[in-house]
Amino acid sequence: MKCSVILCPAHLDELYFTGKTIIVIDVLRASNTIINALKNGAKEIVPVASVEFAVKVSGGMFGGQTLIGGERNTKKIDGFALGNSPLEYTEEVVSGKSIVFYTTNGSKAVAKAKFSENLFICSFSNISAVAKHIVNLNTDFEILCAGRNNSFSIEDSVCAGRLVSIIQTLSKNIELSDSSKACLALNKSFGKSILAMLKGSEHGKLLIENGFEEDLKFCSETDSIKVIPYFKENVIKLPR
Ligand code: MLT
């Protein structure tokens, strides 16, 4: 299995992803919101790349069964039912619902990778489950870090390194790119306390400033949720 890490999707276009196996990571916070919503019984997440498209898509879906969620500058968008705190996506709120989802980096990364053959969503919370699944697939894969504002983010790259290191413990059949080796090193240096790493990150500091410190705790938990969200036919779901 060849493995490489895309540190940020800005320089790639949609066709790059055609036919590939891609794992999208946006630790703060889109991956965790998607993972928690689906674990709590949401029917599906519809990731979109613009607020305008979110409103348009939700207009064509069933009233009452559809919610629009996401953020701009970490905050809930006017007219949206939900923001992008994973803690908002409780069973009471999301069970049975389709959620149209826009975020600054995470939903855009998923939408950009829509032509992938296989597309999974990962964070620390489901990392071992995703690692096992990739080893079972036994195919070349690329980890797509959503990054931050078209740039590198430490939390996504450390998580990518952690994923590679778990896969290495499960399979000897792995060929690492330079980017994978760099992320392994980042995980070694910064992965000792995930919470401390998140608190020290640029995006973590902004979330704390905006009152979302609890989200950092949630997003730092490892192997707390065993689901593997996958994207197919424009929606993210759990396997049945
Ligand atoms: C994103 O997709 O940019 C993030 O999830 C932003 C956030 O923390 O809400």
- Any atom of ligand 1 within 6 Å of the Cβ of 44: no
Q: Ligand 1 centre from 74 Cα, in Å? A: 6
Domain ranges of the chain: 2-40+103-237
Q: Which atom of ligand 1 is nearest to the CA of 84?
A: 9
Given a cut of 90, is residue 58 above it in pLDDT? Answer: no
How sure is the predictor about 63, in pLDDT bands with cuts at 50, 70 and 90? low
Q: Ligand 1 centre from 9 Cα, in Å? A: 15
Distances (CA, A) of 57 to 19, 97, 152, 230: 26, 14, 30, 20
- Any atom of ligand 1 within 6 Å of the Cβ of 229: no
Closest by CA to 162, choosing from 137, 197, 138, 136, is 197
Q: Three-class SS string for 127-141?
A: HHHHHHHHHHHCCCE
Closest by CA to 106, choosing from 33, 165, 171, is 33
- Contact indicator for 19, 117 with CB cutoff of 8 Å: yes
Q: Which atom of ligand 1 is nearest to the CA of 212?
A: 8
Distances (CA, A) of 48 to 53, 73, 182: 7, 16, 30
Mutate to test the pocket of ligand 1, among 35, 103, 156 (most ligand atoms within 8 A of CB): 103
Q: d(Cα 175, Cα 172) in Å, to the nearest integer?
A: 9
Q: d(Cα 155, Cα 199) in Å, to the nearest integer?
A: 10
pLDDT, tens digit (0-9, with 9 covering 90-100), for 219-236: 999 999 999 999 999 999
pLDDT of residue 19: 97
Given a cut of 80, is residue 62 above it in pLDDT? Answer: no
- Contact indicator for 79, 69 with CB cutoff of 8 Å: no
How sure is the predictor about 60, in pLDDT bands with cuts at 50, 70 and 90? confident
Q: d(Cα 186, Cα 116) in Å, to the nearest integer?
A: 27
pTM for the predicted model, two decimal places:
0.97
- Any atom of ligand 1 within 6 Å of the Cβ of 156: no
Which helix (DSSP H) or strand (DSSP E) does residue 67 occupy?
A: strand 66-72
- The architecture that CATH gives domain 2-40+103-237 is Alpha-Beta Complex (3.90)
- Any atom of ligand 1 within 6 Å of the Cβ of 28: yes
